Amino acid sequence: MPRILSLSTYPIVKPVHGGQRRINAFADQLRANGWEFHYASVFEAPHYPKALTSPNDIPLHYIGAEWRDIPLIGDLQSGVFAATSAHAYDHFLTIVRSTKPDVIQLEQPFLWPLIKALRDNGEIQDVPIIYSSQNWEAPLKYDMLLKSGVKESDARKVQDYIVGLESELVAASIATVAVSASDAEHYRALGQCPPVFVVPNGVSRPVQPSAQDEAAVAEIFGEEKYLFFVGSAYPPNIEGFQNLVLKKGLFFRPPRKSLAICGGVSHGIFNSPQYQAHIHANSRRVQFFPDVSDGGLEALKRSAHAIILPIEFGGGSNLKTAEALASGKWVIATQVALRGFERFVGQPGVIVADTPDAFRAAIIRVLAEKPLKLSKAAAKLREVVYWDRGFQDSGYLEFVQSHAKHSQV
């Protein structure tokens, strides 16, 4: 059985955020294709309690002097730490020696210093590397640092460092996996180009909600058409909803429950000044589900009239976009939210709106429509967002498979 070792900067024991879910999707697909999948990480201890880690995950202890004054770069520090701390290096060396990987797949570029160190020490010279990108990291990190108040010169220094990491890594890899076509173009443009596969972020096939979950939804919304929004407490989710939906009030619906807001974003929206300004009117219209089960979430999504994705900034390609498209519902989204899913722009039931006025007008228009009924062709197109279809269409699995055969010879 071929073996693959995946490395990154967070544990995946309980997948919550997009990166964790993506790595788990790789694990599922590779295992389903006969691979032994191993995973190890350096993680930032305060974010992950012990229960959410495995023995292969090691907490970040060392903070390199070069980056001491810059926040939000634990991932960069993790790579330096793994390569230069004897304790961390030995941890990964043990894993490499015990798993004997046929392929090492680096999720995000940050642990590249570790791979270089292992290679320099003669440990994994013959093991091919695949670079699995989750974003085009450098400009994203630059923006994030600037928004956090970091000096432009420091943000630029970090960006240049990541550009260096990615360039070396792409050149040293047998293949690169990108999230979107635009990211793929960027990696191809770096030159020295091994194959680049596009595996868009996707979603798992939905679970069947229980009758109890469905009844709970019916009790709250009855026959009312309602909008569905799910998101984490990640600031772009909160700010996008504030600006594109809340800013002009929710008076486009009668004072009945007609908006389901799910996940960690709930608290941020409830506490926002725009929500509080009309709290009585808003609370008549909004039902929050801050901590809902997967079954409950699926029941809410299935009965919703439309799914909204009011996201104005932030990187990557959102899993919730994939989930929205897969639902077969009306989808109202910004161009940012549809990044990685550009082929759906203009498809039936997908409405792009980027300003508060346009977003509001789209909501009003969609709420006046009947529930969306997709043609077979349109429904099939939306199925692309499932992980299995994404992997199948990308060519990645065949490539890895063929390479595994080579390495087994």
Residues at the contact surface with another protein, assessed by CB under 8 A: 249, 251-255, 277-278, 280-281, 284, 363-365, 367-368
Q: Which one, 230 or 304, has the nearer CB to another protein?
A: 304
In the sheet that 3-8 helps form, which strands lie side by side, from edge to edge? Answer: 57-59, 36-43, 3-8, 103-107, 129-132, 175-178, 196-198
DSSP symbols for 279-338: HHHHHHHEEEETT--HHHHHHHHHH-SEEEE---S--S--HHHHHHHHTTSEEEE-TTTT
Q: How far is the CB of 327 from another protein (least distance, A)?
A: 23
Sign of the Cα torsion 184, 41, 392, 298 reads negative
- The 3-state DSSP class for residue 129 equals strand
Q: In whole angstroms, how close is the CB of 238 to another protein at the nearest point?
A: 21
Q: Which is nearer to another protein, 100 or 256 (CB)?
A: 256
Rounded to a whole number of angstroms, the minimum distance from the CB of residue 367 to another protein is 6
Question: Comparing C-alpha atoms, which of 75, 95, 58, 93 is closest to residue 9?
Answer: 75
Judged by beta carbon, residue 232 or residue 274, the one nearer another protein is 274
Q: List Cα–Cα distances, 84 to 12, 71, 81, 111, 173, in angstroms.
A: 24, 20, 5, 11, 22
Nearest Cα residue to 203 out of 301, 61, 314: 301
CA-nearest of 264, 254, 260, 207 to 233 is: 264
Listed in order, strand segments (DSSP E) in 200-303 are 227-230, 259-262, 286-289
Q: Which is nearer to another protein, 275 or 341 (CB)?
A: 275
- The smaller minimum CB distance to another protein, of residues 258 and 303, is found at 258
Report in angstroms the alpha-carbon separations of 225 from 150, 159, 183, 299, 388: 44, 45, 37, 14, 31
CB of 358 to another protein, least distance (A): 13
Instruction: For residue 357, give the H/E element and its range.
Output: helix 356-367
Nearest approach, Cβ of residue 254 and another protein (Å): 4
384: left (phi over 0), alpha (psi -120 to 50) or beta: alpha
Contact 77, 61 (CB under 8 A): no
Q: Which of 100, 178, 173 is nearest to 137 (CA)?
A: 178
| Nearest distance, CB of residue 77 and another protein, angstroms | 46
Give 95 or 250: the residue with its C-beta nearer to another protein.
250
* Contact assessment for residue 176 and residue 195, using Cβ atoms and an 8 Å cutoff: yes
Residue 205 or 365 having the CB closest to another protein: 365
Question: Nearer to another protein by C-beta: 68 or 280?
Answer: 280
Min dist CB 256 to another protein, Å, is 9
For another protein, the closer of residues 63 and 218 by Cβ is: 218
- CB 258 to another protein: min, Å: 11
Q: Are 69 and 95 in contact (CB under 8 A)?
A: no
Question: What is the spatial distance between Cα 182 and Cα 352, in angstroms, rounded to a whole number?
Answer: 18
Taking the complex as a whole, the smallest distance from the CB of residue 402 to another protein amounts, in Å, to 55
- Min dist CB 251 to another protein, Å, is 3
Residue placing its CB nearer to another protein in the complex, 244 or 404? 244
